[in-house]
């Protein structure tokens, strides 16, 4: 059975409850986790350990919090006061965990679904999304990782162009795949607003509502946007249901003709806030 799962963010106990609820078997089932494996929750290391132990039965995408961990570990970004990354950063196996993390993909298309952490700008179709994700993945896995991380952050360029090259090109790709919520019809991205779909700034729309986007008709699943809540359409799934903020951890079974939504509550008490 094939399951797509929303943001974990260090919530290892809800992950265990979800696997038990699914009666998950690594020999039979596959779990696709849509990024933000770590941070803000109580046991980021436990999440990584569980996903790694599942081997090829768990396909885990990179989200903005996962990239933040890599940047903090390489000394190019300061820890945030609400980070919960020390279990990884201070562990004896720190380098092995960081290396495992940077091997994860930024986008996957499988079982009829294009999967990303955050969004896809309207100029890209599925093939270009995957090709650009591969470019950034190659940088993350290379010996140039540290230099790339020092230049990865920033809000510019805010709009994709096929003429972009080098770091500006890769930064724009990272921002779309791991940070995007709202954009304009020409693909200009907003990175300030974290409200739900009704909170779009003037002139902006949720990226998936942009008329004429080139991925229209391609089923897409994503996480990242906890204030959006669960969306379960034929060709669109939003699966970050705010587990770390006291909501639920959500999985959707997508194999076969029957789609099933499975949710488990998050028992830990976290202070509400935008991820």
pLDDT tens track for 23-78: 999 999 999 999 999 999 999 999 999 999 999 999 999 999 999 999 999 999 99
79 within a domain of the structure (yes/no): yes
pLDDT at 149: 97
What average pLDDT does the segment 173-182 reach? 98
Place of tokens 């885990």: 60
Q: Is the pLDDT score of 208 beyond 70?
A: yes
- Burial grade of 3 (CB within 10 A; 0-12, 13-18, 19 or more): buried
What average pLDDT does the segment 91-98 reach? 97
154 within a domain of the structure (yes/no): yes
271 within a domain of the structure (yes/no): no
Q: Is the pLDDT score of 155 beyond 90?
A: yes
Query: Is 275:25 a contact under the CB 8 Å cutoff?
Result: no
Q: Is the pLDDT score of 272 beyond 80?
A: no
10 within a domain of the structure (yes/no): yes
274 within a domain of the structure (yes/no): no
What average pLDDT does the segment 1-21 reach? 97
| Peptide bond preceding 78 in cis form (omega within 30 of 0) | no
Q: Are strands 107-110 and 113-116 parallel, antiparallel or unpaired?
A: antiparallel
- The model's confidence at residue 271, banded by pLDDT at 50, 70 and 90, is very low
58 within a domain of the structure (yes/no): yes
pLDDT at 268: 57
Helix, strand, coil share of the chain (percent; to 5): 35, 15, 50
For residue 173, what are its two tokens? Answer: 């790709």
How many structural domains compose the chain?
A: 1
Query: Is 10:40 a contact under the CB 8 Å cutoff?
Result: yes
273 within a domain of the structure (yes/no): no
> Range of 240's domain?
2-265
First-to-final CA distance of the chain:
30
Angle formed by the axes of helices 94-102 and 64-73, nearest 10°: 140
Q: List beta partners, residue 261.
A: 252
For residue 146, what are its two tokens? Answer: 């540290």
| CATH code where residue 151 lies | 3.60.21.10
21 within a domain of the structure (yes/no): yes
Q: Is the pLDDT score of 257 beyond 90?
A: no
């Amino acid at each position: 059975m094939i399951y797509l799962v929303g943001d974990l963010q260090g919530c290892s106990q809800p992950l265990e409850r979800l696997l038990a609820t699914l009666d998950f078997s690594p020999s039979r089932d596959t779990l696709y986790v849509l990024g933000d494996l770590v941070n803000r929750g109580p046991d980021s290391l436990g999440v990584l350990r569980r996903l790694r132990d599942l081997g090829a039965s768990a396909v885990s995408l990179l989200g903005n919090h996962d990239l933040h961990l890599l940047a903090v570990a390489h000394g190019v970004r300061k820890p945030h006061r609400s980070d919960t990354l020390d279990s990884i950063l201070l562990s004896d196996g720190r380098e092995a965990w960081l290396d495992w993390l940077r091997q994860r993909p930024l986008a996957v298309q499988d079982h009829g679904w294009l999967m990303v952490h955050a969004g896809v700008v309207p100029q890209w179709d599925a093939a270009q999304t995957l090709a650009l994700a591969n470019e950034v993945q190659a940088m993350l896995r290379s010996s140039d990782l540290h230099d790339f991380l020092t230049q990865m952050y920033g809000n510019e360029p805010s709009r994709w162009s096929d003429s972009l090259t080098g770091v500006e090109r890769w930064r724009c790709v990272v921002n779309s795949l791991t940070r995007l919520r709202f954009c304009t019809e020409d693909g200009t991205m907003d990175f300030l607003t974290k409200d739900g779909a009704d909170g779009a700034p003037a002139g902006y729309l949720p990226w998936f509502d942009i008329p004429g986007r080139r991925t229209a008709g391609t089923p897409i699943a994503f996480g990242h946007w906890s204030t959006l809540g669960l969306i379960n359409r034929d060709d669109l799934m939003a699966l970050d249901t705010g587990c770390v903020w006291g909501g639920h951890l959500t999985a959707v079974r997508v194999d076969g003709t029957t789609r099933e939504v499975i949710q488990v509550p998050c028992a830990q008490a976290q202070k509400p806030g935008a991820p």
